[in-house]
Amino acid sequence: MRMRKKKWAVPYIAERTDVVVNDPAEYKGRWKEVLKTEEVRLEIGAGKGSYWIGMAKMYPETGWIALEKSPDAAAIGLKKCPEPGPNMKYIVGDAEMIEEWFEPGELSAVHLNFSDPWPKKSHAKRRLTAVKFRQKYWNLLPEEGRVILKTDNIGLYEYSLENMGDLFELVERNDDFRKEPHDEDVITEYEHEFMEKGQPIYRAVWKKKVNQ
């Protein structure tokens, strides 16, 4: 996501101690206690925050953690959420670090919404379903844990369908997810744009394979 640099972003994030977790490692192993929920889900690449905000409101019994590496995008998302629910936290950081912040089994689902597709083969390692990342998700999810991907990008979709299978079992696949109403799932900012253009939204859900 390219956007004009916002001078106010970093100071604003620093002010939002109500919801931004500066040192996520401090909560390692304690996220359920901190969010006072039985399960905790992580959205990686939360962008401007609509999914995190909407899902946390729709499912208050679930803990929702947004992770976003761009301070500019994070600050926009946080501005949209002046009164976060007790089930919400925000981490400004890189998905590379998640094993420093969460204990194995601590997350029930990882949501990847419109992740950067990194179309060049030489950049494949950076895709959020690349082996380096999916191995981390596998380590952090419990049995029955899910990875849920939505994308407009057929290249990333096919790559994920082809490669996730080493550690995860595909349990749902929908090649035109928004053809039918899905009120149970919030539409993200990017998703809204692609829907306006009439593009299909691809969605896949994987369950952790056990005995790996």
Report, as residue numbers or ranges, the catalytic residues: 116
Candidates 69, 79, 136, 209: give the one binding ligand SAM (CB under 6 A): 69
Strand partners, 40: 63
131 near ligand SAM, rule: CB under 6 A: no
67 near ligand SAM, rule: CB under 6 A: yes
9 near ligand SAM, rule: CB under 6 A: no
Nearest approach in angstroms of CB 60 to ligand SAM is 21
In the complex with ligand SAM, which residue's Cβ is closer, 68 or 185?
A: 68
Task: Note the helical H segments in the chain.
Answer: 9-15, 31-35, 50-58, 71-79, 98-101, 131-140, 154-163, 189-196
Which residue in the block uniquely carries the two structure tokens 């499912």? 59
E strands, the chain, where? Answer: 39-44, 62-68, 88-92, 109-113, 146-151, 168-174, 202-208
Task: Provide the 3-class DSSP secondary structure of residue 148.
Answer: strand
Choose the binding region for ligand SAM from 12-20, 62-70, 155-163, 204-212 (rule: CB under 6 A).
Answer: 62-70
Nearest approach in angstroms of CB 174 to ligand SAM is 17
Gap between the Cα atoms of 96 and 44, Å rounded: 11
Nearest approach in angstroms of CB 36 to ligand SAM is 25
Choose the binding region for ligand SAM from 11-19, 33-41, 45-53, 176-184 (rule: CB under 6 A).
Answer: 45-53
Task: Provide the 3-class DSSP secondary structure of residue 99.
Answer: helix
In the complex with ligand SAM, which residue's Cβ is closer, 44 or 164?
A: 44
* Residue (of 58, 128, 49) closest to 89 by Cα position: 49
In the complex with ligand SAM, which residue's Cβ is closer, 116 or 162?
A: 116
Alpha-carbon torsion (177, 114, 116, 2), positive or negative: positive
* C-beta neighbour count of 17 within 10 angstroms: 9
Q: Of residues 140-199, which lie at the interface with ligand SAM (CB under 6 A)?
A: 188-191
Choose the binding region for ligand SAM from 31-39, 42-50, 137-145, 167-175 (rule: CB under 6 A).
Answer: 42-50
Sites of contact with ligand SAM (CB under 6 A): 1, 44-47, 67-70, 73, 94-95, 113-116, 188-191
